[in-house]
Amino acid sequence: MDAARIITVTDAEAAAAAAAGALAAAIGAALAQRGAAHVALSGGTTPRRAFELLGPLVPHWSGVHVWFADERCVGPDHPESNARLVRETLAAPGAEVHRIEGELGAEAAAAAYEQRLADVVLDLVLLGLGEDGHTASLFPQNPALDAAGRVAPVHDAPKPPPDRVTLTRATIDGARARLLLVTGAGKAGALALTLGTPDRATPASLVRRAQLDVICDRAAAAGISG
């Protein structure tokens, strides 16, 4: 099995800077090679600072397409909307942002996003990690883990709101590269399991290890052996 590349830095601020740099590098390489860049971003508290740092690192955002790894079934102005988080933290003038219309409900929003994403190969997917081992909105033992296609509706998520939309495992694994950003001592156990034997109880451990970079701070890396 291919191994992930683990990049350990001092603290959360350094992790955010490293993630922003990796995103900027992927965007620059895709623009240079193919004339367009497609990146999928995750929400939550961990990547907020990375998005703030990322904007100035990209000289021009024309030709950059911003997608989402997942979204809660809320409107774009809801405090828990990932689209709102990106809008408020990422200065990306000229980028085309493809939000998931969570307000449509999980099934309709997933179907609409599936159509928009149909012919797109993502250059990089930025993922986070929950203390329960979930990533994107792929939760332990949830039926979405087995979803076909590129985008899936999610119900009964253990964290509110229960209805969500997520990229499927196939879409995440089909990206040219994956970046997992993990900070804080509370994530140490989940990160150790993620880097261990793939297990449906830890969905992040199912992510393809080839071309997977893990950026973590020392607190999150404390449980990693070797």
Question: What domains are there in the chain, each with its CATH number?
Answer: 5-206+217-223 (3.40.50.1360)
- Count of C-beta atoms within a 10 Å radius of residue 197: 8
Q: What is the pTM of this model?
A: 0.97
**pLDDT recorded at residue 2:** 81
**pLDDT recorded at residue 223:** 86
Query: 87-96 burial by CB neighbour count: b if 16+ within 10 A, else e?
Result: eebbebeebe
89's enclosing H/E stretch is helix 82-89
**pLDDT recorded at residue 209:** 97
Phi, psi of 90 (to 5 degrees): -105, 115
Identity of the residue numbered 126: L
* Sequence-distant (≥ 6) Cβ neighbours of residue 56 within 8 angstroms: 91
β strands within 61-197, DSSP E: 64-68, 70-72, 96-97, 124-127, 151-154, 164-167, 178-182
**pLDDT recorded at residue 44:** 84
Per-residue pLDDT for the chain (226 aa), expressed as one digit of tens each? 589 999 999 999 999 999 999 999 999 999 999 999 999 999 988 999 999 999 999 999 999 999 999 999 999 999 999 999 999 999 999 999 999 999 999 999 999 999 999 999 999 999 999 999 999 999 999 999 999 999 999 999 998 999 999 999 999 999 999 999 999 999 999 999 999 999 999 999 999 999 999 999 999 999 886 5
Cβ 29 vs Cβ 189: under 8 Å: no
Give long-range contacts, CB 8 A cutoff, 24+ apart: 189-195: 189/131, 189/223, 190/129, 190/130, 190/131, 190/132, 190/133, 191/129, 191/216, 191/220, 191/221, 191/223, 191/224, 192/223, 192/224, 192/225, 193/133, 194/129, 194/133, 195/4, 195/6, 195/224
- Choose among 171, 178, 169, 174: nearest CA to 125: 178
